[in-house]
Chain A
């Protein structure tokens, strides 16, 4: 059952990436290290690597630190408010990186909201240059990756037994101590998982630094794009890819050494290995630090009026709520502020003036845009279907059977997420070029399926783990043959879960730029590719119109997916 998946990954992940890496050491005259000599000859490329690591590290820190309170609040509030909070996180998560980066260009521009606001408040007298620097890149990166950090941490926090902090309270721990000594250590696997996910994604980013950064914020994937698009220097692109891959592997190896990779998939019991290393000096230092943090928090809490101090520990404080809403506002506002601008006659200057549908008409009458929309829908649907067809049987296999080396298989299946997207994209470009698949929808579907299938396998595995196999047994004992069991019992019950994993695959493809960047162009372009081509040429209100359409479309998609999820959960 897993054969199609193995074949897919072997042909369109292992082979292309392997080819690319081979190209880096294989020139016209056989084996050569010339590419690597060039790479380390000047400090240019190492500087870019350092910049990349610097930006990624700061992004990761900011995402984890600001994401933690958001995830915490979502995990403790009641169901209704949780749905609301989660909607905003998901909306941001599913809104294209391109749309969000573009929104920041508009927001931070000379005539953007921020500058206008600062001037009207009298803080500055003339527009400041807020774009194309480290700050704007950081803002864009955090906006792009904060939702990922929140969702990753939330997955762990939701499984923390909420009676534990309460038990700590009955045992004499004040709220601060209960949090730092009990809750925080239990949430650490989530923090670590979020950290590595954000960091690895950030290393492979190019949209944000390209759109919001200046020359000094060039990241390593941008170099690869330059090598491929401008000089067609495969060998050197391969060498840079090796460098990037090397960094990613070091990060994962360090993570594995410290925490174990199994904590990422959520399958293993968290921290069951803790006692074995609970005596080290590091652990003692950690303990002491947490105790100190607890004591300090409680000292601060005691300074507050007693009414606040005695409230139910389950209720989130006003400060926390305010912080979370401000963060959600910051990550959602840019995209929303673009909506009025797309209907305005005053270009992208704030405040919007007049009302016109002109920009929407421009987009709809342009064959480039309409073709791109159709293309993206088609590729998205194709990817969704193919990923489901290939991923679902594999998920069945991994959950229901006792195959050997399950962890290794899982690692292999998840590798398209770990390997930086850019490396897969360049490898596929090279292989597709020789197979004549460049510009074809089929090739694109194959490429997108490679990156979407891990999500399908993961969500389907989660769905299947929650499925009570006794229902299948019951159906069989009642006279249902295997096919009838699948048709009347298994699939109807799994339906909602399958639909949401299909939507995930669809959205992954619909928003995918990296592979489409090389594999499509002109009338073959997908929506993100067309968006990218336009936005790198000029920043026009027509793009605001497209962004608005995408934003609304994604909003509807989440709404549908959420409805499906809730229908499934109600049973």
Chain B
């Protein structure tokens, strides 16, 4: 088991006037699975290229196991890269592709053959050794790219949207596969994706990026349940964001009043410091929005009534789209597990919605809406 820690210190990259990556610091522990998540243009691929040594930073340092590699060329860093479109060499057989890094490291032929076979076993494709990349399916090419990367046991593996070109089913399968290999090898993995679900399933930690900077870094649970900005709340999963004003602060809880409503309610402070009178956003995840007929549910904190606009069943979840009666409040979505049988509600029906205080998360209203 080889793995290294990675330390990035104030790394920065500009292209002319465009800041691809604002000065960014990040520590990745040895053996960790860290995902760089973000929309396109958020700087995640730039960061990956800088770590790999395929682009050169304008400022900052990169350390692998406390050794400064900022100015080392790609071929001298002990890093493996799995490219978005696999980048298998079209003129070499699968075997030669996988043996290539060993050949570059002057590994003896017999040893190289043994390790190549082993890598093919690991990705469960021992029978394709003599074929050419074009003769394999997308999923198979993906596995070979992975095999070519793990065969020389790099201390850190970087993956640039490796599953982007695969269909949903294959993607799910490959996610499990990559997780399994990560467990078996214990290598440090930095994984780039724009798919929030993928990031949630696979990562130890997620580094959510936006506009060339880190927006929030934490475990998937942190980011999902305790987002620190509207961007994070919006990017990971669906969310209902309501405008509110802080009335008082005690411990980690807040007394708040929703915009255009008189009744007070409670929200979780989320570790942030809020002041009385401050305008904030309150996030409630759709599955935490409790839907009932008017009346009932005395222990609920928030309370809104609205008309049912539409019902959509997407597999395991049923989503209700609701227009609040309160003027100026955005459309809400509630979700509950799909059950067979007739839909309990009718379009146009007046519903009462509420949530538990623990499920309402206060977010600083950075950009205002």
A: which residues have CB within 8 A of B? Answer: 468, 470-471, 473-481, 484, 488-489, 492-493, 570-571
Cβ of B101 within 8 Å of any chain A Cβ, yes or no, is yes
Contact B52 A477 (CB under 8 A): yes
With both beta carbons as reference points, the residue of chain B lying nearest to A474 in the complex is identified as: B87
CA distance A492 to B105 in the complex (A): 20
B: which residues have CB within 8 A of A? Answer: 52-54, 73-75, 79-81, 83-85, 87-91, 100-101, 103-105, 132, 134, 148-149, 152
**In the complex, which of the residues A481, A484, A489 contacts B89, with contact meaning CB atoms closer than 8 Å?**
A489
Contact A488 B100 (CB under 8 A): yes
Contacts A493-B89, A493-B90; A477 near B79 (Cβ below 8 A): yes
- Please name all residues of chain B whose beta carbon is closer than 8 Å to the beta carbon of A570 when the two chains form the complex: 134
- Please name all residues of chain B whose beta carbon is closer than 8 Å to the beta carbon of A571 when the two chains form the complex: 90-91, 132, 134
Contacts A484-B104, A488-B100, A571-B134; A477 near B54 (Cβ below 8 A): yes
Contact B85 A475 (CB under 8 A): no
Contact A473 B89 (CB under 8 A): no
**In the complex, which of the residues A468, A480, A492 contacts B87, with contact meaning CB atoms closer than 8 Å?**
A468
- Please name all residues of chain B whose beta carbon is closer than 8 Å to the beta carbon of A477 when the two chains form the complex: 52-54, 74-75, 79-81
- Please name all residues of chain A whose beta carbon is closer than 8 Å to the beta carbon of B134 when the two chains form the complex: 570-571
- Please name all residues of chain A whose beta carbon is closer than 8 Å to the beta carbon of B54 when the two chains form the complex: 473, 476-477
With both beta carbons as reference points, the residue of chain B lying nearest to A477 in the complex is identified as: B81
- Please name all residues of chain B whose beta carbon is closer than 8 Å to the beta carbon of A471 when the two chains form the complex: 87, 89-90
**In the complex, which of the residues A475, A481, A492 contacts B91, with contact meaning CB atoms closer than 8 Å?**
A492
CA distance A476 to B90 in the complex (A): 16
**In the complex, which of the residues B73, B83, B91, B103 contacts A474, with contact meaning CB atoms closer than 8 Å?**
B83
Contact B85 A470 (CB under 8 A): yes
Contacts A478-B152, A493-B89, A571-B91; A473 near B104 (Cβ below 8 A): no
With both beta carbons as reference points, the residue of chain B lying nearest to A479 in the complex is identified as: B104
Given contacts A476-B73, A570-B134, 7 further A-B contacts (CB under 8 A): A473-B52, A473-B54, A476-B53, A476-B75, A478-B148, A488-B103, A571-B134
- Please name all residues of chain B whose beta carbon is closer than 8 Å to the beta carbon of A478 when the two chains form the complex: 75, 80, 100-101, 104, 148-149, 152
Contact A479 B87 (CB under 8 A): no
Q: How far is the CB of A271 from chain B (nearest CB, A)?
A: 28
- Please name all residues of chain A whose beta carbon is closer than 8 Å to the beta carbon of B101 when the two chains form the complex: 478-479
CA distance A488 to B54 in the complex (A): 19
* Among all A-B residue pairs, the 8 with the closest Cβ atoms: A474-B87, A479-B104, A478-B101, A476-B74, A477-B81, A571-B90, A470-B87, A480-B104
- Of A477, A480, A481, A493, chain B has the most CB atoms within 10 Å of the CB of A477
CA distance A145 to B87 in the complex (A): 42
Contact B81 A474 (CB under 8 A): yes
- Please name all residues of chain B whose beta carbon is closer than 8 Å to the beta carbon of A479 when the two chains form the complex: 75, 101, 104-105, 152
With both beta carbons as reference points, the residue of chain B lying nearest to A484 in the complex is identified as: B104
With both beta carbons as reference points, the residue of chain A lying nearest to B132 in the complex is identified as: A571
CA distance A17 to B160 in the complex (A): 53
- Please name all residues of chain A whose beta carbon is closer than 8 Å to the beta carbon of B81 when the two chains form the complex: 473-474, 477
Q: How far is the CB of A351 from chain B (nearest CB, A)?
A: 51
Q: How far is the CB of A98 from chain B (nearest CB, A)?
A: 39
Contacts A476-B74, A477-B75, A480-B104; A470 near B91 (Cβ below 8 A): no
23 contacts between A and B (CB under 8 A): A468-B85, A470-B83, A470-B84, A470-B87, A473-B52, A473-B87, A474-B87, A475-B89, A475-B100, A476-B53, A477-B53, A477-B54, A478-B75, A478-B101, A478-B104, A478-B148, A479-B101, A479-B152, A480-B100, A481-B73, A481-B75, A493-B90, A571-B90
CA distance A488 to B91 in the complex (A): 10
- Of A476, A484, A489, A570, chain B has the most CB atoms within 10 Å of the CB of A476
Q: How far is the CB of A123 from chain B (nearest CB, A)?
A: 58
With both beta carbons as reference points, the residue of chain A lying nearest to B148 in the complex is identified as: A478
CA distance A406 to B132 in the complex (A): 37
CA distance A27 to B83 in the complex (A): 67
